[in-house]
A and B are shown apart, each in its own frame.
Chain A
Amino acid sequence: MLTQTANLATAVGPHLFWITSRAAGIAALLLSSVSVCAGLLIGGGLTKGRRPDLRVTHEALSLATLLALAVHGLTLLGDGYLHPSLGDVAVPLLSGYETLWTSMGIVAFWALLILGGSFYARTRIGVQRWRKLHRFTALAWILGVAHSLGEGTDAGQSWFLAMTAIAVLPALGLLVVRHLRPAVTARAGVAS
């Protein structure tokens, strides 16, 4: 039993960075999807009463997503097979591995970082302008989902597809509803 465990550890050992990156990617996909749901609920005025709680949840989920994405990209630097440089994981179109999908993920990350981080500079940007800008976060999230489905190692697995559907479809539905309904701007203040 002990030998088997040791063998398993030896077998998986070289892939620890890869496993960590995959796990962080999955966590980021789920967290970002829930965060998008929360954001759309706030912005669309689809909630009643619990708006401050939802805003805090949205913010915390967004920060957790960014952290998971940072782990997702940075742990790849330690991968024994790919051996990517910092540029490969941070600059679009630089990596030779699955260039399109990788670039899509990198663009999504930077967009999420900039658009999400702009929340803390919204008074300087102007709340109305920031709110318009913040809508593009959904586009960055869609890019991220496409990246995970196009390049993800587990993308062909039924459990991954089911999990993605459960997380992504509600957010997509809310996104459609949001675009069909006018945004709640009068009461939103700086929250949305």
Chain B
Amino acid sequence: MDPTPNSPRASSPKRPADKLDARALARARRDAMLRRARRIRRSVAAIAAALFAAAFLAIYVQLASGNDPALSSTSTAASTIVASNTTSSSSTAAAKKTAAKRAAETLAAEEPAAETSSSGSGETSQSATPVTTSQS
């Protein structure tokens, strides 16, 4: 039921053609706006998904290649533990602990043939800190 100029209603004296044209124009504009809005929403969803995928991939590669910040701070954490048991930074202790734990988990998963080394092979994630300490 589009009130186009070709429809019988278009020739009606009560509804002039220009008024109908204006309505059709308004409808077309509204449709175009809705189409554009849908396109924008899809674009944003695609960009968000791409952002997430890129970040995931970057972190995955970083972690797998051993360059993850949590992993790289492990050696620092371990050496700090051995060097002085007295010095403890309260703000970074938790982060270092996490890093040590995660590194130990990774090592345990990465090197299943670690039977040759004395400790750590049979340990679960719950006992990761001693592994890190023994590495230093």
Could you tell me which A residues sit within 8 Å of B by CB distance? 7-8, 10-15, 18-20, 22-24, 26-27, 30-31, 52-53, 56-57, 60-61, 64, 67-68, 71, 80-82, 97-98, 153-154, 156-157
Contact = CB atoms under 8 A, between A and B. Distances in A.
A60 B69 CA distance: 32
Nearest to A14: B105
A18 B98 CA distance: 12
A64 B45 contact: yes
Nearest to B57: A23
Given A53-B37, A153-B69, 12 more contacts: A12-B64, A13-B109, A14-B125, A15-B63, A15-B105, A56-B41, A60-B41, A61-B48, A81-B101, A81-B125, A153-B70, A157-B69
Interface of B: 33, 36-37, 40-41, 44-45, 48, 51-53, 55-56, 59-60, 63-64, 68-70, 94-95, 98, 101-102, 105-106, 109-110, 125
Given A10-B110, A11-B110, A13-B109, A24 B40 contact: no
Nearest to A81: B101
A24 B51 CA distance: 9
A57 to B, nearest CB: 5
B105 A81 contact: yes
Nearest to A152: B69
Contacts of B52: 23-24, 27, 68, 71
A81 B127 CA distance: 11
A64 B44 contact: yes
Contact of B33 (A12, A26, A52): A52
Contacts of A8: 64
Contacts of A52: 33, 37
Contact of B56 (A11, A14, A19, A154): A19
A24 B56 CA distance: 8
A27 B48 contact: yes
12 contacts: A11-B106, A12-B64, A14-B109, A20-B56, A26-B55, A30-B51, A56-B41, A57-B40, A57-B44, A64-B44, A68-B48, A157-B69
Nearest to B112: A10
